[in-house]
Structure formats: C-alpha cells, structure tokens
Structure 1
Amino acid sequence: MVATARPAKRRSLWWVVHSWAGFKLSIFLTFILATGTLAVFAHEIDWLITPAMRVAPRDAPHASWGSIADAAQRAAPDGALTTIFAPIDPWFAVEAWVSPEKGAPRRIYVDPWTGEVTGQHGWANVHRFLRQVHRHLMLPTKIGIPIVCSLALLLAASLVTGVVTYKKWWRGFFRWPHTGNTRRLTGDLHRLAGLWCLWFVALISLTGIWYLVETLGGNAPVEQPPEIGVRSPPTGRALDRLVAIAQREKPGLDIREIRFLEDQGVAFLGQDSAWLVRDRVNGVVIDPANGRTTMIMDGADLSIHQRISEMADPLHFGTFGGLPTKILWFIFGALMTALSVTGTMIYALRLSRSETGGGVRIAWRGMGIWRWIGLAAIIIALALTPFAIGGAG
C-alpha cells in the first residue's frame, strides 16, 4: 500500500497575526521594551554612577525645605530655582533644578539631613535618556509618542492571538520546558514566559494605548492655578512659612515636590489619601507675596477621566509601591523583552528546516522592510540624543 502524504497544516489567521506582530517589528519592539524595563530603575542607575546623589541615612530630623532651597540657590547663584524633589529613598539626596538664563538646567544635590550641597550635575543623565528614548524616541512628542504607543496595539494583538493559538493555555503555567531540542525548548520557554506575563502585557498594552489616546486629543483636563504675576522663588525662612501654610491647609499631604511657578506662585505637591495617582494632583498653591492659598488639589476629587490619566504612569512604571513594585516591574519587563527575542528565535528555527543559512540571517531576511524601519527609528533616536537632552556637564 502506498501511504498518502498529508497536506501541510495550514496556520490559522490568529497564528499569522501573532507571528507578524511579534516578529516583523521585533528589533524596534525589543528596543522599546528594553529601554522601558531599564527606565524602571533609571534613578537607581543614576544613583550608582553619580556620587553626589548618594547620602548616608541617619536617625535625625530632616533639614527644612527652606534651608535646602537656600543651599541649592547659593550653589547656583546665576540661575533660577524651579523645582525641588524629595529623596526617592533614604539613601538619595534631595534634587533641585536650577535654570540659568541660557542653556540647560542644572541639578543640585543636597543632603536632606544636613542641608549641605553634595554636588552638581548637568541636565543630561540616564533617567532623562531612558525616559525620552522610550517615550518618544527623542523626536517631537506629537510625532514620537504615537509611533512608540502604536506598539501597544501590537502587544494587545499578540496577547489575544497568543491565548487563542495556545490550546488549553491555563494548563501550562507549571509545565516544565522540554530539553534536548533547541526549537522545542525555545518554544516552551516562550509559552511559559508568555503565560506568566499575561497580566503584565495586558497592563502595559492598556496604559500604552491610553498614552496614544491622550496624544491624539483624549487627554484629561488639568486645572491650572490663577496667575498672580512674576515672583522670585522664596528660600530660607520665607519658604518654610509657606510650607507651614500648605501643611495647615492640607494636613495629610506628604510633600514630595515643590515647584516655583513663574507666574502662579509656589506649588507644594505630593501624596495624600488618593492611591495610584501622580504627585501633581495632590497639593497646595500659595502666593508667596502674601501667603494666600490660591488653589488646593485633591486626587480624591478627580473625575473618572482624570483618575485614569493620573493612574497611567504609576501603573506603567510600577512606582506606586516603592522598591518592591519596581523590582517586580523590572522582572516582568525583562520577561517581556525576552518574549520578543525568543519569538524571533522560534521563527528562525522554524524556517531553518527549509531555508539555507544561519538562524540570524534567516530571521533578518524574514523581517523584510520592517527591519530597516526598526533600525532607522533606533539610529535616529540615538543621533538626536545630544540635541534632545543637552550636555552632561
């Protein structure tokens, strides 16, 4: 008897979409995922390479905001104090931004306990690089953000098609990868990592799509304090008096940031009772000339539209829970990046049976014109970096 050859199994449309979404733009996608993952710990990377940011925690009262502002202003007398940030963690210094009449702002670091300046740094740093290259590729935001955020649509497509094509996927969470066969091992690792990343891919996709919606005109309205005329940034005891007024107006406010608004007074921003919101929605704005409160902001009063907008950043970067959530976000960000790499490997290994050449060469050819689009986006972003973030100083 002559055996009848079975026709080749046709791939479903779901599988085709999953492969295209994860493979054709894999170079660009991997770059965005990798920079976003590193951006979770961008401040910590800067802390490691910038000695002025490092302080020794101590069991003592903090220096007043006024004395810190005074020290920062004295360290850069030729510039205007614009913002002061509280330490991210006890081992971080306070960071103050001072803008000169010409050129990029400078960062002044102050010990939060002694009120002494520990050093200065230029505007460019790791955090600024990773934030801007991940967010908009150093391009104008109206161009760069839609390009980057369009990848969120691909991630969402990969999530849905991956679940549909993986039959009985809920059984695979604890299925150990098979060894001995490179192609099977890679596929098993890809599916295992994909399952454990389901919630994270969904979260990053949703927040990325929201950023796209905001850029296209769906951003939530942000209330602005009234104009009061130009005021010089108060420091020393003058600022401490304003801090006391802000704490009296809003007793639960944990001040994390002080903004010296050019024509709207001094804004004391931070965290209060509302959870999962940016610092900017909780605060008090005061006219430094007369100590009059011109605006009080409370995250608990936000509309649904505003609340969604303010939740996006804490959820996207995992900053809402401090170091523990940032570690978790970093781990799953690394897994997402690995998914992009292993997806490309699976494609190359599958084609290597029918095409000549190494796996990398096969994958490169298979990407077609999209490989050049991805590389061009990365090269342009890196080339624009010196102009977009200024000198390191």
Structure 2
Amino acid sequence: MTRKFRNQLFRLHTWIGLYLSVFFTFMFLTGTLLVAGFELESLGRPAIWTSAAEEERTASFGDIYEGIKSAHPEGDAFVILKRPAPWFVDRTFGRSGWGERVSYWTDPTTGAVVYETGDPGFASILAGLHDTFLTDSRIVFILFSATSILLLFQMVSGLITYRRFWKGFFRWPNSSGGLRSWAGGAHRLTALWALPLVLVIVITSFYFLLGGLGIEGERLKFPPPAPRETALPDGFDGALIDRAEANARDALPGLESNILVIPGGKGGALKFGGPHPDFSELRGGSTVAIDPLTLEVLGVHTPDDLKGLSTLELLMELLHYGLWGGAFSMALWIVLGLVATSLAFTGSLIYAARLAPATSAEGSFRRIWRGMGVLRWIYPLLLLGMLSVIYWRVNPDAYIPSRVNPVDADIRAAHLVLYEPLRRDTPIEIELRIGVANVDTALVEVNGTAAQPVDLTQDGDKAIGHFRFDPLETGNEVITYLKKPDGDEQKVTFRMGSPIW
C-alpha cells in the first residue's frame, strides 16, 4: 500500500473523527451505562433484588397474575416475565386502575406483589437518548444506525494506517512528548482493546438499520382465536392461565416458558414463550398461542419457523446489549464500553494536540471546538434539545394522559381521562368523555358522595365534562348517570383502585 494512499486514508479518518468523535463518545458512554442501566436505577429498591436460586422460583404465571389482582384488583397485566435477570424478582408490565403504565414486581416463590415501579425511569430515558435523542423518530433511528457504516470505516482505516498494529496491544502511551504523544498512544491502545466490541456494534447496528428500513424478515403469525366480546373472557384468572400453560406444554413438550403475553384486545391470544432444549437460546425462543376462551392451541412456533433476517434478531440483541453471557458478558461489555468511550474521546484530543497546534491562549477543548467550524453549533443545539426533552419527560408536572374505561358498560359509552397521575392526598381534575349521543345532563357520584351535576360542553353529538376528584386510600370509585332529553338514563361505573404512590 503506497504512502500517499495511506496518508489520504488517514486524513479522511481524522476528518470524520473530528466531527463525530463527540457523537461517538456520547453513544459509547450511554450504551455502556445501558448495559446495567436498570440495575443502576434500582440500587435504592431492595425489594426487587433476590438471591433465590432458579429451582426456588416456583411461582407459576397463574400465581403471579393472582398476586397482582389481589394487590391491585383494578389493574391490568399484559406481559409477565419470569426471572428477567437472576438477581431480580419476577416482573410484570401492566397498567394501574387509572391507566398509568406500571411494572409489578412479584415474589418468585409466592407470586405476591413486593414492589411497583412507574415509567419513565433512568434506564428508559437513557435508552431513548441512545436510540433517537428522545425524539422517538424512525428517521433519527435510521440515521443513528447508519453511523455504523462510518464506524466500520474508522475501524478499518485506523488499522490500515496503524502499521504493525498487532504489536501495540500492550504499548502503553508515552507522556514524555506532551499531550500529542500521549493522546496518540492512548487512542491507538484503546482502539485495539475496543476492537471486538466496536466490530460487534458495527454488525448489530447495521442489522438494526435494516430493520429500521423495513428489511426485517417474515413475522410469524398465529390463527385468530374464537370471537369474544371482551379482551379477557369471563372467569379469567390464575387457574385458567395455569391450565392454558399446561396445554402449551402438551403442545410443545420441553418448553420452558418464561414469558406470558396476555391479550389486551378481543382478537388477542395467550402466548407462552421461552427456551426449548432442542434449540440454542441464541437462536431465539419458542412460542405457543392459546385461545383464552376455549384454551385450544392456536399454533406452535419454534426458531425453525423463522425466515430471513428475523432468524438473527435475538442474537443481534444479545450481542448489542451484552446479554449473551449473563453477568460475565455484562461486566465485559461495560469494561470494553468504557475503553471505547476513551477511544472516541482521545480522538478529539489528537486533533487538539496534533492538527491544531497549541497557543498560549487556547486549551485543548477550545481548539477542538474551533476546529469543527460551522458544524460545531450543531452539538449545543442538540444538547439544549435533549435537556428540554428530558425535562419534559421527568418533570413532575409532566404526565402522559391516561384513560379509565367503565367496568359495567361498553367502553364506547364513556371514559375518564386523567391529565395528572393519581397520587395519595393530591386532588386532581378528571375529564369525563361521553360517547353516547345526545346526552345533555350528567351526574357524577365520587366515592359514595351525593351525585353532583357536571357542566357539559357539546362536541358534535357527544359531550365532555370535568369534575374534581379527591383520592382515598382505597376504593376510588366514580359513578356517572348519563341522561338524554327523552328521559333515558344510563349508569356507568369506573373503579381506579388504591393509589400506589
């Protein structure tokens, strides 16, 4: 390879590194923190940590469901995860009685609820920053994933321009020549040690890029269940879940189900998923779908049924997030992630020390800033945007409106909208949205008090009203009486249950 080509490659490597080193530093650092993001978030939650051995975790999906419904009768459970990590109790993603997203943590032996966590938390905020700068934009996700191509170029060009790089794995940076010498040595050393992780990030991020572009392989589908009037049939309980799981095991002997998906709509099925001894866990789990009404098996899918890129999905996720080897791989990914973060940062220092010679009036960071030219203003704008979105997401006054459906009527009759969370000793205003046409009068009875009229605002042939609500420790029931001009009256009852926090 000619010296001229190597020099041109080095200039391009340096130019890309100059403008993207801050971005890559941010991505490596947030990705590293995300490997143990929820563990860091949960340091102050001793109730969800456990040292129970796997054979001691005997609570069935039915036990867990009953434990949740016993503690929060008005709440809903959607996804139950057994052993989300060896050091955590079982986790269920669900919804509170007033519609707020919540995770229920249950004892792995008894199924009893031991803790509840809300959303968003530190880990989810960090994940949003890492994926899309909290924009939740598909375009941004595609752009972020596309930087894997530039990262691959940086990796290859760096190895080409670093002659006899295989001799540098233990070459400690020399500081005798000043910042320029030390930064160059540290950058080369961290590049070599971070090489395995960087290569994995390149491959997995490119895979995510294909998924963002819609190239993700065939998605498995199950036949629809028998028609029913509600999301969950009458009499749905933990015993029914356990019978359904028994049918799933009969349909696929050897299935070690550790995840249950509970339908949230009339067309959904119970889905039991988990590893199977006939397939490597790196290939993915197997799933059995059960009709919640008839308990008939709707279908069985194993990793052999996957087609195209979907066959690699679980492997790519395990590699990217450092979960392929449990606690060992998480620790390794954290160490290598910090090394990769140092790699990106020392790249900036090289520019400061080598491409922009020092002056008495300028420090390293100022030289990096000045060297970026007009593009340097993009970073502070991104920082301001991220800080604004973070504040919007974690601000105590910020709350995603939640919906409460009736317990004794069609959900189209009326529903409540909460623009503030239900919290102990905190009065809130609740919006009543009436779906029945031509209602001109509404009375609201709150927690057994005398029914009071609600001022209605007509919205076409529907109506909207507001009323004050003072939460109690238990109960929190709202009864509405909807009246039409012809005297027709409908009673609609809402139960929100006990405030969790």
TM-score in terms of structure 1 length: 0.89
Residue 50 of structure 1, aligned match among 45, 49, 54: 45
Q: Does 1:295 align with 2:299?
A: yes
Q: Does 1:362 align with 2:367?
A: yes
Q: Rate the CA distance shift 1:277–1:333 in 2: closer, same or farther, 3 A.
A: farther
Letter of the 1:249 counterpart: A
Q: Rate the CA distance shift 1:374–1:226 in 2: closer, same or farther, 3 A.
A: farther
- Provide Cα deviations, 1:30-87, integer angstroms capped at 9, x if missing partner: 1121111111112322331333322342674522221111111233322321111112
Q: Rate the CA distance shift 1:365–1:265 in 2: closer, same or farther, 3 A.
A: same
Letter of the 1:376 counterpart: L
Residue 371 of structure 1, aligned match among 373, 376, 381: 376
Shift of 1:207: 1.1
Letter of the 1:364 counterpart: W
Q: Rate the CA distance shift 1:368–1:227 in 2: closer, same or farther, 3 A.
A: farther
Do the aligned residues in 2 keep the contact of 1:278 with 1:313 (CA within 8 Å)?
no
Q: What is residue 174 of structure 1 aligned with on the other side? A: 170
Helix, strand or coil at the partner of 2:262: strand
1:179 and 1:326 mapped to 2: Cα distance? 32
Q: Rate the CA distance shift 1:308–1:57 in 2: closer, same or farther, 3 A.
A: closer
Q: What is residue 283 of structure 1 aligned with on the other side? A: 287
Shift of 1:105: 1.0
Do the aligned residues in 2 keep the contact of 1:231 with 1:265 (CA within 8 Å)?
no
2:173 and 2:350 mapped to 1: Cα distance? 14
Residue 142 of structure 1, aligned match among 120, 135, 138: 138
2:188 and 2:316 mapped to 1: Cα distance? 28
Identity of aligned residues (%): 30
2:282 and 2:374 mapped to 1: Cα distance? 41
Shift of 1:169: 1.2
Q: Does 1:221 align with 2:218?
A: yes
Q: What is residue 34 of structure 2 aligned with on the other side? A: 39
Q: What is residue 5 of structure 1 aligned with on the other side? A: none
Q: Rate the CA distance shift 1:296–1:185 in 2: closer, same or farther, 3 A.
A: same
1:146 and 1:378 mapped to 2: Cα distance? 20
1:74 and 1:368 mapped to 2: Cα distance? 62
1:61 and 1:94 mapped to 2: Cα distance? 9
Do the aligned residues in 1 keep the contact of 2:63 with 2:110 (CA within 8 Å)?
no
Do the aligned residues in 2 keep the contact of 1:111 with 1:118 (CA within 8 Å)?
yes
Residue 69 of structure 1, aligned match among 58, 65, 72: 65
- Provide Cα deviations, 1:341-367, integer angstroms capped at 9, x if missing partner: 111111111145354511111011112
Q: Which deviates further from its counterpart, 382-391 or 130-139?
A: 382-391
2:57 and 2:291 mapped to 1: Cα distance? 28
Residue 256 of structure 1, aligned match among 248, 258, 262: 258
Do the aligned residues in 2 keep the contact of 1:146 with 1:212 (CA within 8 Å)?
yes
Q: Which runs of 5+ in 2 are unaligned?
A: 400-420, 422-500
1:116 and 1:157 mapped to 2: Cα distance? 52
Do the aligned residues in 1 keep the contact of 2:152 with 2:199 (CA within 8 Å)?
yes
Residue 16 of structure 1, aligned match among 11, 35, 41: 11
Helix, strand or coil at the partner of 1:289: coil
Do the aligned residues in 1 keep the contact of 2:30 with 2:126 (CA within 8 Å)?
yes
Shift of 1:204: 0.3
Q: Which deviates further from its counterpart, 379-388 or 263-272?
A: 379-388
Q: Which deviates further from its counterpart, 123-132 or 332-341?
A: 123-132
Do the aligned residues in 1 keep the contact of 2:180 with 2:353 (CA within 8 Å)?
yes
Shift of 1:145: 0.6
Q: Which runs of 5+ in 1 are unaligned?
A: 1-8
Aligned alpha-carbon RMSD (Å): 2.5
Letter of the 1:384 counterpart: V
Letter of the 1:180 counterpart: S
**Structure with greater helix percent:** 1
1:270 and 1:375 mapped to 2: Cα distance? 45
How does 1:286-325 map onto structure 2 within 5 Å?
286-325=290-329
Q: What is residue 275 of structure 2 aligned with on the other side? A: 271
Do the aligned residues in 1 keep the contact of 2:120 with 2:393 (CA within 8 Å)?
no
Q: What is residue 413 of structure 2 aligned with on the other side? A: none
1:115 and 1:376 mapped to 2: Cα distance? 48
Letter of the 1:189 counterpart: A
Q: Rate the CA distance shift 1:61–1:171 in 2: closer, same or farther, 3 A.
A: closer
Q: What is residue 6 of structure 1 aligned with on the other side? A: none
1:129 and 1:219 mapped to 2: Cα distance? 26
Q: Which one has the largest radius of gyration?
A: 2
Q: Rate the CA distance shift 1:250–1:131 in 2: closer, same or farther, 3 A.
A: farther
Helix, strand or coil at the partner of 1:119: strand
2:84 and 2:126 mapped to 1: Cα distance? 18
1:74 and 1:369 mapped to 2: Cα distance? 60
**Structure with greater strand percent:** 2
Letter of the 1:257 counterpart: I
Shift of 1:371: 2.8
Q: Rate the CA distance shift 1:251–1:368 in 2: closer, same or farther, 3 A.
A: farther
How many residues in Structure 1 have an aligned counterpart in Structure 2? 383
Shift of 1:102: 5.7
- Provide Cα deviations, 1:79-138, integer angstroms capped at 9, x if missing partner: 321111112333311111222476431111111012221111112122212222211222
**More contact order relative to length (CA 8 Å, sep ≥ 6):** 1
Letter of the 1:203 counterpart: V
Do the aligned residues in 2 keep the contact of 1:226 with 1:264 (CA within 8 Å)?
no
2:389 and 2:213 mapped to 1: Cα distance? 24
Q: What is residue 245 of structure 1 aligned with on the other side? A: 247
Q: Rate the CA distance shift 1:261–1:310 in 2: closer, same or farther, 3 A.
A: same
1:15 and 1:246 mapped to 2: Cα distance? 58
1:237 and 1:371 mapped to 2: Cα distance? 61
Letter of the 1:206 counterpart: I
Do the aligned residues in 1 keep the contact of 2:6 with 2:161 (CA within 8 Å)?
no
Q: Which deviates further from its counterpart, 375-384 or 195-204?
A: 375-384
Helix, strand or coil at the partner of 1:276: helix
